[in-house]
Amino acid sequence: MSGRQSAEERKTQIVAAVLRLADEIGPDRLSTTDVARAIGLSQPAIFRHFPTKNELWLAVAEDIAEQLKAAWTTAETLATGPNDRLKALIEAQLSAIAHTPALPSILFSRELQVENPGLRNVFREILGAYQGRLVSAIRDQQASGDLQGDESPEDIAILLTSLVQGVAIRWTLGARGFSLVDEGVRLLDVQVGLLRR
């Protein structure tokens, strides 16, 4: 890489390296030395940009949150109606996980969550925002008569979020031996079919 990078460019590079390495070595085992080595910096250089490891993980969480929100917004913008919107939101979430395979490991890392309440709060907020979008899409489908109206939209949103998380965990544990998006959408169709009866 030629030329000097701005502080923002360097931070972006560090966050990207953390996401890549978290997938390769696991978030709980990842050290700032690993990150420094991967991008050709010294460990003190990492700490100049992120004074603590918790701040580094918080930046990673905020980056993930921004990427997810952008994916959801794009999905909703391209959706052609209530049915399409719900499927598009699920597909966007699955695609984001497939694009950033470290996501499930980071989200479910007990060590990271316990040691970093800021990180836990970012993920709690992002999950709430996602479920809020799902609830809105589900209400629209219930209003159009496409989904039964006797189930709580909030409960259906939790069910669908659990479906995404379950498929993502299966994909991760199964060495990514199937298409995450295809499998998730297939199971979504099964679930929605059951909710239509």
Calculate the CA 43 to chain-centre distance: 28
pLDDT at 2: 43
pTM, two decimal places: 0.88
What are the pLDDT digits (tens) for 131-153? 999 999 999 999 988 888 788 99
pLDDT (average), residues 42-65: 92
pLDDT at 68: 94
| 143 is a domain residue | yes
| 16 is a domain residue | no
Reported as a pLDDT band with limits 50, 70 and 90, residue 84 is: very high
| 191 is a domain residue | yes
| 21 is a domain residue | no
| 120 is a domain residue | yes
| 84 is a domain residue | yes
pLDDT (average), residues 85-108: 92
Under DSSP, the state recorded for 4 is: P
| 33 is a domain residue | no
| 25 is a domain residue | no
**How many structural domains are present in the chain?**
1
Domain span including residue 148: 57-196
